[in-house]
Structure 1
Amino acid sequence: MSDIEAMFSQVRVPKEDQDYQRFLWWPNGNVNEPPAEYRMKVHIFGATSSPSCANYALRKCADKSCDPNVKDTIDNNFYVDDMLKAVPNKTEGQVLAKRLIDTCNKGGFRLTKWISNDCSVLETIPEEERAKEVKRLDLQRDSLPSEQALGMQWNVQADVLGFKNRVKDKPVTRRGILGVVSSVYDPLGMAAPALLPPKIILQELCKAKLDWDDEIPSKQRKRWEDWMRYLPLLEEHFMVPRCIKPENMVIQIHTVTSLLRWKRVWVRSCVIH
């Protein structure tokens, strides 16, 4: 996993479009002076067009690569400025990492904050380009840290995905309960069973036609408080292997033909060992 440093700022806005990014600023921070007029010459964070323009520039950079693996990675394994890629072995990872860095550099993009679950891959990455948490680690002895991977918690050492609780104190109302449930980022639906009880509570409160900030009945309140006490267990104990294909898994397809009564029926089954 890696990240493009200040991605938007590496892509210049065409001169004829720079006037659309004009802004006023007071010289030396003195608001008593007349403001000066400036314009941004690069894409800015917050502009609706910036992600698509920056990704277009990155893909153009990939088109110039002669390595199909590099082009495929840039086309399919980037989420804006974040790159996440899985490869079969460490040798392929080492080669791909170096070629990705070189290709992005040619386009003016610095690929940095590298992290990998294989220390031999990390050793091939310059120390200044590694993630902050692993820059000073002894890769032969120290354990790798946990990292955020697109909102999910990735325990790099064990190579498992989990959750990081960021629940803030919220009032026990429909609005507060919805805020807590929504704060559990779960794009793959792995925590769906754990999130079902509070969603049922929300459904009941909605049917009861309670307003967003009304105090909820004691019955639902007790169930909500019980659920909140168990919520930390999601971070402490819930872990899912990042790779869904078990090691050394063999897939065999068996085709069986049988005659049932007077009709010929083809029965096909896929058996996984």
Structure 2
Amino acid sequence: MAQEVVINNEKKVSFLVVPTQVKKVVNPQQIKNMFELDFNDRQTDDVPISYEDKLFMTKMKEGVYKPEEHYEMPLPLKNENVRFENKKDLAVYRLDRLKRKLKNDKKYYQDYVKSVQDMITHGYAEAVPAKELARADGFVWYVPHHGVYHPEKPGKLRVVFDCSASYKKQSLNSHVLQGPDLTNSLIGVLCRFRQEQVAFVCDISAMYHQVDVSPEHKDLLRFLWWKNGDLDKEVIEYRMTVHLFGATSSPSVAIFTLMKTADDNELEFGSDAAKSVKNDFYVDDGLKSVAYLLQLKLSN
């Protein structure tokens, strides 16, 4: 809206006036709460937790087991009595499509074979024992898979399991609980990272693969692959022994296990170490800063 102003009865100056309207008045306390929210990573006391999230946490606390080096965690099924169609039609169809792509792209094929072989070598996947191949109790599921290159790491291919793949209106993801968001606030982690003079970073290698799947749920994570990665050889049934990259429940399962690790080892490694594991990780990336004097003391 234009507005004219007369100066000394001679000169007219035009101004452009933009009407404004305040929709909401924010008081200082609201601003204070907003900033504090960024540094309070888990406000579980203030935020109502859903029934499904409560069920997830109950299943994790009751199902966690540590026989040796790694924790075993169950798949957080919504219904333990669910029965799956023991069919691998979809997995076979997707494998045939994958085979065509592998044959047409030599580098993709080589990287894919290496990735699958690494999973088998590290024990993240295993061939299904012959005596269990014919399991027919409705507790078997075949997960299709495909390869994805890391956008910031050229040449590094990750095998992603398509847990959302649907067969007769069923998918693995539709039967598992997602779980609550247990991830630390990124802003909180970064700000704590800048508090002290000496900083260091670390990460958890293959974070999801560090959490084993409970034995009774392994057959829900079957997949098809060629013997020794040779496309001309027979197709073998494998199954994952760890939680999948692609399952909707895996992020919450992995972070729950990380927090469990901190709690269980606090007496041995100290409260500072446990607190750092709980507060200074954003998913699998650890960012920590310490005072110079502490660093000097450690170096001596």
Same fold (TM over 0.5): no
TM-score w.r.t. structure 1 length? 0.32
